[in-house]
């Protein structure tokens, strides 16, 4: 009986402490708005950076596979390879700072737009390699078959090669988008109040690191889980389409 009562007191004390911490971090001064607004900013940056990354990735992948030459030099291939090597060989946070302070340092531009461009350019290098690998994985006979039917190189890529490549690379693209979502946590380096920054602002005002930062971690976990489930469902639907 003594142990039971003692456990009740401990549980009651924990609940009271949790309630006080919750009120302090989120209710007082409407501090929950830092998390809510930060979440919206993170989703916005991730969504548009993903679009930019996919567009850049497709263009760079096709450029790297291009046979366009000036003399004996495959110009587009060299440019694409240089871009990929530079982006993949430097930290994303350094790229973000360079784009914000150097490239757009003297331009009046939204920080969110800068972040979208920076993360989109960074993601584009990885997406390009994923797409290139997917295209190369398609049997060469598919291209020959398309050309023998009278289709141009571009039409063959669009209607025959790319649809098959996209199905093959979908899991890898999903992983890249999840990485991009988590990578946006460094947006605070240019004073963007994203999800991570919102939690850190609360921590700096309440001097309680536990609840705000753990809440931020849980929010990222929920976002990545939802995105993973969405990509899994999309992949299953595309596979079902192949079976019909």
Residue 18 lies in a domain: no
What is the separation of C-alpha 7 from the centre of its chain, rounded to a whole number of angstroms? 44
Task: Identify the helix (H) or strand (E) that includes residue 196.
Answer: helix 195-206
Burial bucket for residue 64 (CB in 10 Å: 0-12, 13-18, 19+): buried
Burial bucket for residue 115 (CB in 10 Å: 0-12, 13-18, 19+): buried
Per-residue pLDDT of the chain (244 residues; tens, 9 = 90+): 555 455 545 556 778 888 888 999 999 999 999 999 999 999 999 999 999 999 999 999 989 988 766 656 688 889 999 999 999 999 999 999 999 999 998 899 999 999 999 999 999 999 999 999 998 888 888 878 887 888 887 788 888 888 888 888 988 999 999 999 999 999 999 999 999 999 999 999 999 999 999 999 999 999 999 999 998 888 888 777 665 5
Q: What is the pTM of this model?
A: 0.88
Neighbours of 58 (CB within 10 A): 16
Residue 219's domain comprises 31-243
CATH number at residue 63: 1.10.3720.10
Residue 113 lies in a domain: yes
Residue 66 lies in a domain: yes
């Amino acid at each position: 009986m003594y142990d039971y009562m003692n456990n009740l007191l401990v549980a009651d004390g924990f609940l009271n402490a949790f309630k006080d911490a919750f009120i302090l971090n989120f209710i007082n001064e409407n501090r929950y708005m830092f998390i809510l607004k930060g979440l919206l900013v993170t989703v916005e940056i991730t969504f548009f950076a993903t679009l930019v990354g996919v567009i850049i990735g497709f263009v760079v992948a096709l450029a790297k596979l291009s046979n366009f030459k000036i003399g004996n030099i495959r110009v587009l291939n060299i440019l694409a390879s240089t871009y990929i090597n530079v982006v993949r060989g430097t930290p994303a946070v350094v790229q973000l700072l360079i784009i914000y302070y150097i490239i757009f340092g003297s331009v009046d531009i939204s920080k969110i737009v800068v972040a979208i461009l920076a993360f989109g350019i960074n993601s584009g290098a990885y997406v390009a390699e994923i797409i290139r690998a997917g295209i190369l994985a398609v049997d060469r006979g598919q291209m020959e078959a398309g050309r023998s039917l009278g289709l141009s190189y571009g039409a063959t890529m669009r209607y025959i090669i790319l649809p098959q490549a996209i199905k093959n690379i979908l899991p890898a693209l999903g992983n890249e988008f999840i990485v991009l979502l988590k990578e946006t946590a460094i947006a605070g380096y240019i004073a963007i109040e994203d999800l991570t920054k919102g939690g850190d602002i609360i921590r700096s005002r309440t001097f309680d690191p536990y609840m705000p930062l753990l809440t931020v971690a849980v929010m990222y976990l929920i976002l990545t889980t939802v995105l993973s489930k969405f990509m899994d469902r999309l992949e299953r639907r595309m596979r079902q389409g192949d079976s019909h």
